[in-house]
Chains A and B, each alone.
Chain A
Amino acid sequence: MGDFFTVASLVFVVGSGIRLATPFLLAGLGEAIGQRSGVLNLGVDGVMLLGAFGAYWTIYETQSPVLGVFVGLGVGLVMGVVYAVITVGLKAEQGISGIGIFLFGLGISDLLFQKQVGTPFPIRGFGDWHVPLLSDIPKVGEMFFQHSVLVYVAFALVPAVAFLLNRTTFGLNVRAVGENPAAADSLGVSVARVRTTTILMANTLAGLAGAVLSIELGIFQQNLTNGQGFIAIALVYFGAWRPVGVMGGALLFGLVSATVLQWKTLGLVSGAASSLTAMAPAVLTILALVVISRTVGQPAALTRPFERGH
């Protein structure tokens, strides 16, 4: 175990944990916004897949990562419109609709990949951006300031989303609609408009999360997300619907995953122990969820469609 507790090893684990946490963070922030307004979207993973393919295909065709990011965002926005029509316009049951969106994303992203690309050819992303001055700080710079620009964008969104939810009139409306839509409606807040807006924001961020995944990996493959969208939903509960909490959950999940990977690489765990440690991130998340769910209540109107007079 001594090999693990070296400076070089720990520096790598922290950097690796941050990279692994980024897609969870983006998707989780979006889902947190949606859930604070009372909208559960189980289709995050499907939207991520569509965003991932959109970005990958765009870069494959144009060699422009920037354009790829915008396409990922755009794909998420379009899926947000679809989900808003289904859940806000048609007032369909959110859980079932979300699963439908997930299956749609899973199937159509693979179909489009097979038809448009086929063999998984690599693409070039942004590469690491070394933040001037900060990246030169020994060890600290290597851990925190030598990542892709998309990593910085994701973490910069945490205070931005926190400010939006806690310090603006829109955020107040979001929280009111998520807790008591009837009361918010009686005060003149358009529940439909607020929820539509949060759905668009949530899906756009999910599309970005998918784009980050394919751009950073430089590849697309069937079911590339491997269930990351569902983990992001769990992390929203873990984070008690607060952006900083979601970031904490994403970082914990990423850091535990990175730690387990490093243990295996160093040969510190093998055989059955290797299989058991691979479950550690999920087990820790579930344990934390159990604790947090006993202390923090979810938005009271979560998953409940709003209909005036009912």
Chain B
Amino acid sequence: MHKRNHRKWLGLAALLAVLALVAGACGSDGDDSAGGDDGFRIAIVAPSASNDLAFTQSIVDGVGALTGVSAVDVTDGTFIVDDAAAAIRGYAEEGYDLVIAHGSQYGGSLQEIAADFPDVAFAWGTSSDTFGLPNVSAYTAASDQGGYVMGVMAAAMTNSGVIGVIGPIAVGDAKLYVDGFVNGVQANSGGATANVNYIESFSDVALAAEAAQGHIANGADILTGTAQMVVGATGVAAEHGAKWFGTQSNQTALGADIVVASQVYKWEVVLQGVVDGIKDGDLGGEAHTIDLANGGLVIEFNDAVDAGHARTLGENTIKSIAAGLKQTGA
């Protein structure tokens, strides 16, 4: 009996050891490739993979483009908020110069942690709320602007007159993008319809794919969507020959012959100011927005897909919005 118990505990210990090794291997991805030599260290905590071609990749790419940063450390895949909170607190304790909590769902945790570390600078997005804390910078994207541009283009390109939109949960920049896109479609005089389906999940790839199937079955020949679960929907679009409009990162890699254009977030446009401010002793307290006018939002066209007249229409709409001559209505 004693021997049996010994073997049982030995087995469990072995399993736990393997798990610990895996957990360690799946932890933060250190990246010392950023330029600069003044010892400025940034940590990013984000909910999905660093190379998801969507939300998380946008912040990783943005921080990678900053100057005057000596080290960047990323903890990705923290879709469980408690895990993210532990990582954020850990980075704060380690004395990082800027800790970025990249996910609106991290707001509650960040509010508590930032108050506990008044000498550490934090950035949180996508949101405009700094909680009134002087060491928190908020950042968000006027994603409705790119959404509007793509809606105008989609309405000009559709043959069926039906366009499908796949959203995650109607919050933050996802809702802005969807609202802007729908308004862009409606602004076109062609009478196209945009059907919107929020699947109530940021991560359910299978449900996103099935939502895309639903749009196709209901006549859509152009699709768009936002958040990391859209990788399932792009496959459905490719299978049925439907065109795709992307957002957050350049999604051409998901379908070189279907992705017409992508709205790309350039977070570095606002984060560079945050970093420079921290070096000057200003830890935060302000909200920042990237948009078409300040270059934080860029529409990247895929030259492999011929958008014809719609591309010109899109480029003109970009100019109008950036100049403040057109409102997205979102």
Closest to A100 in B: B15
> Given contacts A108-B22, A261-B199, is CB(A217)–CB(B235) below 8 Å?
yes
> Given contacts A104-B22, A122-B255, A261-B214, is CB(A267)–CB(B196) below 8 Å?
yes
Chain A residues in 8 Å Cβ range of B209: 216-217
Closest to A20 in B: B210
| Total interface residues in chain B, CB < 8 Å | 57
| Total interface residues in chain A, CB < 8 Å | 54
Query: Quick check: is A91 within 8 A (CB to CB) of the other chain?
Result: yes
Chain A residues in 8 Å Cβ range of B254: 120-122
- A249 to B201, alpha carbons, bound, how many Å? 22
- A121 to B231, alpha carbons, bound, how many Å? 9
- A228 to B12, alpha carbons, bound, how many Å? 26
Total A-B pairs in contact (CB under 8 Å)?
160
- A92 to B14, alpha carbons, bound, how many Å? 12
CB-based contact A107/B26 at 8 Å: yes
Query: Quick check: is B232 within 8 A (CB to CB) of the other chain?
Result: yes
A75 to chain B, nearest CB (A): 15
Chain A residues in 8 Å Cβ range of B11: 85-86, 89-90, 92
> Given contacts A104-B18, A226-B201, is CB(A114)–CB(B217) below 8 Å?
no
CB-based contact B207/A222 at 8 Å: no
> Given contacts A217-B232, A219-B232, is CB(A261)–CB(B210) below 8 Å?
yes
> Given contacts A92-B12, A221-B49, is CB(A278)–CB(B232) below 8 Å?
no
Chain A residues in 8 Å Cβ range of B22: 103-104, 107-108, 111
> Given contacts A96-B12, A103-B19, A110-B77, is CB(A261)–CB(B197) below 8 Å?
yes
Binds A, one of B2-10, B90-98, B118-126, B322-330: B2-10
CB-based contact A16/B205 at 8 Å: no
Q: Which one of A113, A217, A271, A274 contacts B205 once the chains associate, using CB atoms below 8 Å? A: A217
- A121 to B49, alpha carbons, bound, how many Å? 13
CB-based contact A218/B235 at 8 Å: yes
- A90 to B25, alpha carbons, bound, how many Å? 26
A171-196 with Cβ < 8 A to chain B: none
CB-based contact A8/B217 at 8 Å: yes
Closest to B165 in A: A265
CB-based contact B195/A265 at 8 Å: yes
Q: Which one of B15, B198, B199, B211 contacts A97 once the chains associate, using CB atoms below 8 Å? A: B15
CB-based contact A221/B213 at 8 Å: no
CB-based contact A265/B49 at 8 Å: no
Query: Quick check: is B160 within 8 A (CB to CB) of the other chain?
Result: no
Query: Quick check: is A150 within 8 A (CB to CB) of the other chain?
Result: no
Q: Which one of A86, A100, A257, A307 contacts B207 once the chains associate, using CB atoms below 8 Å? A: A257
CB-based contact B213/A16 at 8 Å: yes
> Given contacts A107-B23, A261-B197, is CB(A221)–CB(B205) below 8 Å?
yes
A-contact 0/1 string along B41-83, CB 8 Å cutoff: 0000000111111000000000000000000000001010000
> Given contacts A103-B19, A104-B19, A224-B205, is CB(A90)–CB(B53) below 8 Å?
no
CB-based contact B205/A278 at 8 Å: no
CB-based contact B198/A120 at 8 Å: no
> Given contacts A111-B22, A265-B215, is CB(A20)–CB(B199) below 8 Å?
no
Chain A residues in 8 Å Cβ range of B169: 275
CB-based contact A222/B235 at 8 Å: no
CB-based contact A114/B49 at 8 Å: yes
CB-based contact A121/B26 at 8 Å: no
Q: Which one of A12, A86, A107 contacts B25 once the chains associate, using CB atoms below 8 Å? A: A107
CB-based contact A110/B197 at 8 Å: no
- A189 to B204, alpha carbons, bound, how many Å? 43
Q: Which one of B8, B210, B213, B228 contacts A91 once the chains associate, using CB atoms below 8 Å? A: B8
Chain A residues in 8 Å Cβ range of B10: 90
> Given contacts A90-B7, A213-B206, is CB(A120)–CB(B231) below 8 Å?
yes
Chain B residues in 8 Å Cβ range of A216: 209
B-contact 0/1 string along A16-31, CB 8 Å cutoff: 1001100100000000
Chain A residues in 8 Å Cβ range of B79: 222-223
Query: Quick check: is A137 within 8 A (CB to CB) of the other chain?
Result: no
Interface residues of A (CB under 8 A from B): 8-9, 12, 16, 19-20, 23, 85-86, 89-92, 96-97, 100, 103-104, 107-108, 110-111, 113-114, 118-122, 127, 213, 216-219, 221-224, 226, 228, 257-258, 261-262, 264-267, 271, 274-275, 278, 307
Can you list 11 contacts pairing A with B, beta carbon distance less than 8 Å? A8-B217, A12-B218, A20-B207, A91-B7, A92-B15, A110-B26, A121-B253, A217-B231, A258-B214, A264-B211, A265-B197
Ordered nearest first, which 9 A-B pairs have the shortest CB separation?
A: A90-B11, A278-B200, A218-B235, A12-B217, A107-B22, A265-B214, A264-B197, A107-B26, A119-B51
Interface residues of B (CB under 8 A from A): 4, 7-8, 10-12, 15-16, 18-19, 22-23, 25-26, 29, 48-53, 77, 79, 164, 169-170, 195-201, 203-207, 209-211, 213-215, 217-218, 228-229, 231-232, 234-235, 238-239, 253-255
Q: A20-B207, A85-B11, A97-B12 are in contact. List 5 more A-B contacts (CB 8 A).
A: A16-B213, A224-B206, A226-B207, A266-B195, A307-B4
